[in-house]
Amino acid sequence: MTGRANWRLVAPAVFMLAWGGNHFTPLLHVYEELGPYAPWQANLLLGLYVIGLVPGLLVAAALSDRLGRKPLMLAGLAAGTIGSLILAAGLHHLALLALGRAFAGIGVGIAMSVGASWIAELSSPRYDPDAGAGARARRGALTLTLGFATGAAVSGGLAQWSGSPVLWPYAAHLAGTLVAAALVIGATETVGPEHRASGAWWRDLHVPAAGHKRFVGVVLPAAPWVFAAAGVAYAVMPAIADKALGDWSTLYATVLTVITLGIGAAVQPFVATLDQRTGGRALPVGLALMTAGMVLAALAARAGDPWLAMGVAATLGAAYGITVVAGLTHVMAIATADDLAGLTGIYYALSYTGFLLPTVLAATLSAAPYALTLTVVAAVCALCLATVVVRVRPWTWSPATESDG
């Protein structure tokens, strides 16, 4: 098995774990109707898997430095399987749904820290000498994005047209997970016994590179907007257009999710080129597009227009795709071989704080309409953009940016 082919044995596992994290998204309207759950409860379930995601990101990264990447990825697939089984059985039990989402979060966390790091390692010159510029950051991020999009598309379609909208989506995920587990067993382990860390695993929860001025000044202000964009695009926008959709709410939510993540996936292969041509400023470009998308979201909320909401999804999808890869590029420039998984985990943990934004907006809906709160969100995004623009200037792009620290 060549190195070039080998990273593709890991990608299906990362893909299916991302699928399991996002196939709940287009089902929000279904749970509101069949549960029944209030909008804030459905949005809470959407973001609740952050509870599982953070330990999945941080603890799994530390353990994988001692046990290897493969055992942790298999554990992640097991967590994703348990999550889907619980969700399939938990329609009328909020506590069960919360537990299922937490298990799904553990799986996504492992995919983002261990899986993305494993793909990055298998995309290094040692395993894949022909990998292009930016492949280490792009391949993992693109696999995750495609998993998020496909999971939403398949689950939304099954929910709209199958007779069991809260059973078939999870059955499809379980079938794909079995295939991914069979493939990942054959992947090359990059953390051999001679390279494994020693001592107490919790010592690795401290990642000194997270204090790097580049991480604090550039990555930190941008990271939460990665999934804030996704959450606004496919959780909030369907809600603002709900009155005009009738029985097509689930399909519309699915379409917005696919637009957001499809465009996000489409732009990711071009981020390295964008970074070169802008002198290392792809991250501010992504945040500028993010700010524009949030302004459009506020206008769409005021108008309640489904077509304008689609434009918001497209804009925020492009912003998401640029920002997630550009942020990872900075992370990989800062990290050493010993803390790549840990710093990647911290980056994604910070990113996922933004996924709680739809819950906050839904919870305040009785006091402030979406048009007002999204205007405030756009203003905060603009402030973060200004911060990153000022701080990113010392790091212009060069071929050495993949290894500077």
Kindly report, residue by residue over 3-46, the tens digit of the pLDDT: 444 899 999 999 999 999 888 888 877 887 787 788 778 878 87
84 contacts: CB under 8 Å, gap ≥ 6:
20, 100, 104, 170, 173, 174, 177
d(CA 361, CA 232): 9
Instruction: Supply the pLDDT for residue 399.
Output: 36
Instruction: Supply the pLDDT for residue 318.
Output: 97
DSSP strand E in 155-210: where?
none
Instruction: Supply the pLDDT for residue 200.
Output: 65
d(CA 130, CA 34): 51
Amino acid at 171: A
Tens of pLDDT, residue by residue over 106-119, are: 999 999 889 988 99
Three-state DSSP class for residue 186: coil
> Would you say the C-alpha torsion 334, 330, 132, 111 has a positive or negative sign?
positive
Instruction: Supply the pLDDT for residue 401.
Output: 41
Write down the domain spans for the chain: 3-190+207-402
> Residue 394 pLDDT more than 80?
no
Please, what is the average pLDDT of the chain?
Answer: 86
DSSP state of 397: -
CATH architecture of the domain covering 3-190+207-402:
Up-down Bundle (1.20)
* pLDDT mean over 247-272: 88
d(CA 338, CA 315): 36
Tens of pLDDT, residue by residue over 302-349, are: 998 899 999 999 999 999 999 999 998 899 888 876 777 778 878 988
> Residue 1 pLDDT more than 80?
no
Instruction: Supply the pLDDT for residue 3.
Output: 43
Highest mean pLDDT among 132-136, 217-221, 290-294, 366-370: 290-294
Could you tell me if 301 and 310 are in contact, meaning their C-beta atoms sit under 8 angstroms apart? Answer: no
Residue 102 structure tokens: 């937490």
